[in-house]
Amino acid sequence: MAVYTHLGAEQLAGLIGEFDVGALRSAKGIAEGVQNSNWLIETTGHDGAGARFILTMYEERTEVSELPFFLGLMDHLSARGCPVPATIHDRAGAAFRRLDGKPVALIEFLSGVSVSEPTAGQARAVGEALARVHLAGQDFAMRRANNLGPEGWRRLIDGCGPGGLDGIDPALGALVGAELADLLAQWPADLPGSVIHADLFPDNVLMIDDTVCGLIDFYFACTDIIAYDLAVTHAAWCFDATGTRFAPDLSAALLAGYEAVRLLSPAERSALPLLARGAAMRFLASRAYDWLHTPSDAFVTRKDPLAFARRLSFYRDNPGVFA
Ligand SMILES: Nc1ncnc2c1ncn2[C@@H]1O[C@H](COP(=O)(O)OP(=O)(O)OP(=O)(O)O)[C@@H](O)[C@H]1O
Ligand SMILES: N[C@@H](CCO)C(=O)O
């Protein structure tokens, strides 16, 4: 359940009154998501016919100083025809306001559901949508460093403490030690970069059948290697949830969909096996850190780091999957 903050009806009505979206009709807390508090808001709309929005309250893990990047990027991509929700600006033109001392944004509601067992058709559509984001993001003027790049993985792994990884699984420390050293030594510096989503898991894509209706949760977006974003999406979409079973049909469909919109250069393609190992390390590192630092009786369910350790081993042992 991800509504960390209680907002009273009067407070919500007052907030909605700051936007030109009609009067508040209802507000329902949304259970999904772990980072921020989200509500589905219904208003009367301009013409009384009703309108829906997402209200997000940014909790501690989101830096307020980074909101102009995230929200500006959503508006930029939406304006260029990507299926990304635009932010609703208040009457004074601001993309976010403060309520109870925390930043809040009103965001366009997009239809669709997150799939848990994607089909090849859906993987292809996601590949196409990701490539469109990469093309549309080329002229986004703001920059944000990726704080979860190779140095960030090392920081998270160091934060797991001596013996921490082996406490999760006896073979984890050795796998991470060898792979991290290799990735840090070989990480490419000369591949094309742009703004990337960096977390395009199925739960961040809203779909109806094979159509992508919404790409959401841009709160890890940053300026980084474009093909790394494809590698992240590959790691997120082309395995079962436990990371045990690789789905070659989804992999082929995702890559074909991507290249139907944006062709990979030979250098990008040949870097994909390494970038995919990096992508697996990124989620292994954040999950292992959270695994060890989240009390077992906490409000949120911890995500399994081993699901990405298996992906990491798979990519290490099967570089040919991107051939
Ligand atoms: N623009 C939108 N249109 C429709 N539904 C949305 C939209 N944004 C978010 N949602 C719904 O709200 C849920 C939570 O949003 P989100 O995943 O962004 O939460 P979070 O806590 O910010 O992130 P995280 O997934 O990292 O925990 C989503 O699963 C989705 O169902
Ligand atoms: N999508 C990530 C959480 C955000 O970093 C994961 O599944 O581990």
CA of 197 to the centre of ligand 2 (A): 12
Of 34, 62, 156, 199, the residue with max ligand 2 atoms within 8 A of its CB, to mutate for a pocket test, comes to 199
Q: Which atom of ligand 2 is nearest to the CA of 203?
A: 1
Tokens 């508040």 belong to: 24
Q: Provide the whole-model pTM.
A: 0.96
Q: Which atom of ligand 2 is nearest to the CA of 303?
A: 8
Nearest CA to ligand 1 atom 29: 32
- pLDDT of residue 1 exceeding 60: no
Domains of the chain from N-terminus onward: 9-108 (3.30.200.20), 120-322 (3.90.1200.10)
Quick count: other Cβ atoms within 10 Å of Cβ 49?
8
pLDDT band at 217 (very low <50, low <70, confident <90, very high): very high
pLDDT band at 17 (very low <50, low <70, confident <90, very high): very high
Q: What is the mean pLDDT of residues 172-178?
A: 98
Q: What is the mean pLDDT of residues 146-171?
A: 98
Q: What is the pLDDT of residue 279?
A: 98
Measured at the alpha carbon of residue 199, what is the angle toward residues 260 and 132, in degrees to the nearest 5?
Answer: 25
Please state, rounded to an integer, the average pLDDT across all residues of the chain.
95
Q: What is the ipTM of this complex?
A: 0.95
Question: Beta 51-57 vs 37-43: how paired, if at all?
Answer: antiparallel
Percent of the chain with pLDDT over 90: 89
Percent of the chain with pLDDT over 70: 98
What lines the ligand 2 site, CB under 6 Å? Answer: 199, 201, 283, 286-287, 303
Closest ligand (CA of 52): 1
DSSP-derived secondary structure letter, 82 = -
Q: What is the pLDDT of residue 100?
A: 86
Q: What is the mean pLDDT of residues 105-116?
A: 98
Q: What is the mean pLDDT of residues 309-322?
A: 97
CA of 104 to the centre of ligand 1 (A): 14
- pLDDT of residue 322 exceeding 60: yes
Q: How far is CA 230 from CA 52, 91, 210, in A?
A: 31, 38, 19
CA of 8 to the centre of ligand 2 (A): 31
C-alpha 31/C-alpha 33 separation (Å) is: 7
C-alpha 197/C-alpha 216 separation (Å) is: 9
